[in-house]
């Protein structure tokens, strides 16, 4: 399958640039199993890679020029000079791959130019990290072609810097690390403070389980401002509690911490979410490592309640997915990603997939919402060279 995809992308590269690419690489989107809004609090996250990937055919250039083309965007080839790349100067999709070249060169790596053609099956803007897939596939290709010798986590850091500084989006480190470092049949337990990571067995199919991703296809307009407010509120909580980050508030000292926040009601709610969410990630890790995959269901559902009631970033569409899935026999369900739209995940017995999917469709029709797109997510490999 991936051979056919690589062949098609290489073929198109040749049409665009007049020669075969030196190689073809793939990097996946991701879904976060648990650990939401913990990454900018130095906490724990647990993403796994989707089967959906960004694929890049790439050749080196030595003349300081990068040429960029995407199969999925209208328009032709963009040509940019490396020495004139300027942070936050580009509002088009090209900022993601160009930002990676910028970040590599800023870090002193000898990247002298490239011809790049991209094609992606990661749905864009669905909270499944199409942007990180795009960055990581370009970073991995350049790492190989220019023999930079960088490890996955190092590529992830450079890609995050590309997105933070060059694109101008204040994202954490999870998405890029997931795309670069995940392994098939596993979720990635990542400590966002020191970037230490552990592969946790998460082989759903072997246990007769499925994980559905339900993309509500909505994105409520105020989401970016709300993200900033939550982030600022968490920083205020850490400052009031005298810690570097909310990660430093131990779960068994939560009640004490909350009482010390006095009448800061909003900050209390944010702190409670972050501290309990970090604890849920650790519980999920222990359950998965001891073979208790089904038992993680209630923790996913508790995570949703915490995001809805304490962090207040859910929306009617996400709540409807979760409530309907649970009422139709799901083991657990939660919104995933930034909130105010995007996707929810549902953990279920394989035998219940059709019942749950149909129930969600019916509920959306009844509520007058646009139909969601539902697919099964198999924990898949991270970034890799295809040819
Ligand atoms: P997410 O990462 O959750 O999908 P983002 O807003 O972070 O959402 O990134 C989406 C952006 O990434 C798109 O608006 C587009 O600029 C870029 N992008 C994603 N996939 C592609 C693609 N196949 N070709 C070109 N640009 C893409
Ligand atoms: Mg993104």
User: What whole-number distance in Å separates Cα of residue 335 and Cα of residue 273?
Assistant: 14
- Beta carbons within 8 Å of 226's beta carbon, 6+ residues apart: 313, 339, 340
Side-by-side strand order, sheet with 186-191 = 44-45, 186-191, 197-201
pLDDT at 1 (0 to 100): 61
In the three-class reduction of DSSP (H, G, I as helix; E, B as strand; rest coil), residue 368 is classed as coil
- Beta carbons within 8 Å of 122's beta carbon, 6+ residues apart: 28, 29, 50, 52, 53, 54, 128, 129, 130, 133
pTM: 0.95
Angle at 176 between CA 174 and CA 181, to 5 degrees: 90
Q: Are residues 247 and 139 part of one domain? A: no
Q: Are residues 80 and 167 part of one domain? A: yes
pLDDT at 248 (0 to 100): 98
Q: Look at residue 190 and tell me whether its pLDDT is greater than 70.
A: yes
Q: Which of 124, 172, 224 to mutate to test the pocket of ligand 1 (most atoms within 8 A of CB)?
A: 124
Q: Are residues 222 and 330 part of one domain? A: yes
The residue that leads in pLDDT, 219 or 129, is: 129
Q: How many residues are recorded in the chain?
A: 387
Domain stop point among 176, 199, 222: 199
Establish if 382 belongs to a structural domain.
Answer: no
User: What whole-number distance in Å separates Cα of residue 363 and Cα of residue 94?
Assistant: 38
C-alpha 26, offset from chain centre? 15
Establish if 175 belongs to a structural domain.
Answer: yes
Q: Look at residue 265 and tell me whether its pLDDT is greater than 90.
A: yes
* Domain hosting residue 291, numbered range: 202-376
Secondary structure letter of residue 332 according to DSSP: E
Q: Which of 91, 96, 97, 130 to mutate to test the pocket of ligand 1 (most atoms within 8 A of CB)?
A: 130
pLDDT at 221 (0 to 100): 75
Could you read off the pLDDT of 288-321 as tens digits, one per residue? 999 999 999 999 999 999 999 999 999 999 999 9
Establish if 249 belongs to a structural domain.
Answer: yes
Establish if 387 belongs to a structural domain.
Answer: no
Q: Are residues 220 and 184 part of one domain? A: no
Domain stop point among 155, 181, 199: 199
Q: Are residues 277 and 174 part of one domain? A: no
Distance from Cα 263 to the centre of ligand 2, integer Å: 35
Q: Are residues 131 and 52 part of one domain? A: yes
Establish if 385 belongs to a structural domain.
Answer: no
Q: Are residues 148 and 34 part of one domain? A: yes
Q: Which atom of ligand 1 lies at the shortest distance from residue 122's CA?
A: 20
Could you read off the pLDDT of 30-56 as tens digits, one per residue? 999 999 999 999 999 999 999 999 999
CB 53 within 8 A of CB 121: yes
Q: Are residues 145 and 7 part of one domain? A: yes
Choose among 89, 44, 37, 93: nearest CA to 228.
37
Distance from Cα 231 to the centre of ligand 1, integer Å: 22
In the three-class reduction of DSSP (H, G, I as helix; E, B as strand; rest coil), residue 318 is classed as helix
Choose among 185, 182, 186: nearest CA to 132.
182
Distance from Cα 7 to the centre of ligand 2, integer Å: 27
């Amino acid at each position: 399958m991936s051979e056919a995809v690589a062949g098609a992308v290489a073929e198109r590269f040749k049409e665009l640039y007049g020669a075969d690419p030196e190689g073809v690489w793939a990097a996946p989107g991701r879904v976060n199993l648990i650990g939401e809004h913990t990454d900018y609090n130095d906490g724990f996250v647990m993403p796994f890679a989707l089967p959906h990937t960004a694929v890049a055919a790439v050749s080196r250039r030595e003349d300081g020029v990068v040429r960029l083309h995407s199969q999925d965007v209208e328009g032709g080839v963009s040509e940019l000079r490396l020495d004139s790349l300027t942070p936050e100067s580009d509002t088009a999709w090209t900022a993601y791959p160009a930002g990676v070249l910028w970040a590599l060169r800023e870090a002193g790596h000898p990247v002298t130019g490239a011809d790049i053609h991209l094609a992606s099956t990661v749905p864009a803007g669905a909270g499944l990290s199409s942007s990180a897939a795009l960055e990581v596939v370009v970073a991995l290709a350049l790492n190989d072609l220019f023999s930079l010798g960088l490890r996955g986590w190092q590529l992830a850091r450079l890609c995050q810097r590309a997105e933070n500084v060059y694109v101008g989006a204040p994202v954490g480190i999870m998405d890029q690390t997931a795309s670069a470092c995940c392994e098939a049949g596993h979720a990635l337990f990542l400590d966002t403070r020191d970037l230490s990571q552990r592969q946790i067995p998460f082989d759903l199919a072997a246990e007769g389980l499925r994980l559905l991703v339900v993309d509500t296809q909505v994105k409520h307009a105020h989401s970016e401002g709300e993200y900033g407010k939550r982030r600022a509120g968490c920083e205020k909580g850490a400052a009031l509690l005298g810690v570097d980050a909310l990660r430093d508030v131990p779960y068994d000292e939560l009640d004490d911490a909350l009482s010390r926040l006095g009448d800061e009601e909003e900050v209390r709610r944010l702190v409670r979410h972050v501290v309990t969410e970090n604890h849920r990630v650790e519980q999920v890790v222990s359950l998965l490592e001891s073979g208790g995959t089904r038992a993680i269901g209630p923790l996913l559902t508790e995570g949703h309640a915490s995001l809805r009631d304490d962090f207040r970033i859910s929306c009617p569409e996400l709540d409807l997915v979760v409530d309907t899935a649970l009422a139709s026999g799901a083991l657990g369900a939660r919104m995933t990603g930034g909130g105010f739209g995007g996707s929810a995940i549902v953990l279920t017995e394989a035998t219940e997939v059709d019942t749950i999917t149909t129930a969600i469709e019916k509920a959306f029709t009844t509520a007058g919402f646009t139909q969601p797109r539902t697919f099964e997510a198999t924990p898949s490999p991270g970034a890799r060279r295809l040819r």
